[in-house]
Chains A and B, each alone.
Chain A
């Protein structure tokens, strides 16, 4: 009896929480289903909202216009969002910049001559 009341109560909370959603309350959207099925890479609704705000702040801190940052974050998938949120600093940023100096330069030059790298022939 207690569990039945509990389920009914949770059901009311759920219906109230989803009342504002355009989809029917009793339908499971593809996105909701995948968020549950791929739980290891999903953050949940509240977690995703926090992650979006956090990644937006990180992009802005890296020099992106705040309006652009908002639009850029909005198009990320939940998995991409989680990835950027946890390790944006470690992810490769393709650029072809040669931000190297001194000894490193010499080592690369040698490696280039030997044919191990292509730093100077690639643009």
Chain B
């Protein structure tokens, strides 16, 4: 009876799924083959692919961790699984910076070529009946047209281009590149990097994240927010002259950047450059809206400038605009 039902169902299913089954799969537009053999493997216990996958990428950065020790960091007993946001948070708690992987399989290959394994979410089931699973991409073989993953209890799970694409697209191509502070992903956009470093800063500390800010600011010199964040880090580290340059660059990139103008004015004021501080702040004060959350900070800075006694400025090149 069951056999007849299956026999009846099969043609229907093949028909329904026909387009996905028969369409040729375009490989990623990268001819390279790469496999990170040294990435360790943590075979997962039942349900616990989250701790195992996280342990894999943490250990790949040189951290001595075990999957068991991460269970209390990411596992949700009643859900019998782990949430994506909690994997990122746990990476921060272990002193690492998680970045979202850029969309696309080419970006995955680029990360592998840079030596970065990528933790990915996969949907091994259907859109309507999902079965979520975390694995770590450690290799791509252009010649044999498959991906290599640390997954479940398989140290070298090989997935065809078609299977991997379906699994990964089913999970909105979500993935994490987990790196030591001071390193950046091979492929990223500036906004994602700003958010990833800013999320890590309160957990890892400003000192640990500063090299990330300065490197990112050098890699995306036209990004005002990266220059602003780098300047804040440099100021906190006591590097006033370098902070001044980065605030100037943030403002050159975005003359409307009120927070950069405010902090630049505050820095100049701290080094007795009263006139320059007033000049730096003026455009922000003139442009600020009544409902701007920065309005009160700007007013406080303005008040400090008004109360300051003008003496000799102790910074160099205060007027110089740093070109983006």
Contacts and interface: CB of A to CB of B under 8 A. Distances in A.
Contacts of B114: none
A75 B49 contact: no
Contact of B76 (A15, A63, A104, A114): A63
A96 B76 contact: no
Interface string B227-242: 0110011010000000
Interface in B250-308: 259, 262-263, 266, 292-294, 296-297, 299-301, 303-304
B129 interface: yes
B190 interface: no
Given A36-B293, A75-B89, A83-B85, A95 B79 contact: yes
Interface in A33-52: 33-38
B129 A11 contact: no
B77 A63 contact: yes
B199 interface: yes
Contacts of B125: 108, 117, 119
B124 A117 contact: yes
A102 interface: no
Interface in B1-41: 2, 6, 9-10, 13-14, 17, 20-21
Contacts of B6: 110
B90 to A, nearest CB: 7
B232 A97 contact: no
B228 A123 contact: no
B300 A15 contact: yes
B86 A95 contact: no
Contact of B225 (A37, A77, A79, A123): A37
Given A110-B10, A115-B21, A93 B83 contact: yes
A75 B76 contact: no
A91 B88 CA distance: 14
B81 interface: yes
B89 A98 contact: no
B107 interface: no
A24 B294 CA distance: 14
Contacts of B299: 7, 10-11
Interface in A83-97: 83-84, 88, 91-97
Contact of A76 (B14, B49, B53, B85): B85
Contacts of A33: 225, 228, 259, 294
Contacts of B171: 92
Contact of B199 (A68, A77, A106): A77
Contact of B152 (A26, A78, A96): A96
Of all A-B residue pairs in the complex, the 7 with the closest CB atoms, nearest first, are A123-B152, A93-B81, A95-B81, A63-B77, A77-B199, A75-B89, A80-B85
7 contacts: A63-B77, A79-B195, A94-B53, A94-B121, A96-B132, A114-B14, A122-B133
Interface of B: 2, 6, 9-10, 13-14, 17, 20-21, 44, 46-50, 53, 72-74, 76-86, 88-90, 92-93, 121-126, 129-134, 151-154, 157, 163, 167, 171, 194-195, 198-199, 201-203, 225, 228-229, 232-233, 235, 259, 262-263, 266, 292-294, 296-297, 299-301, 303-304
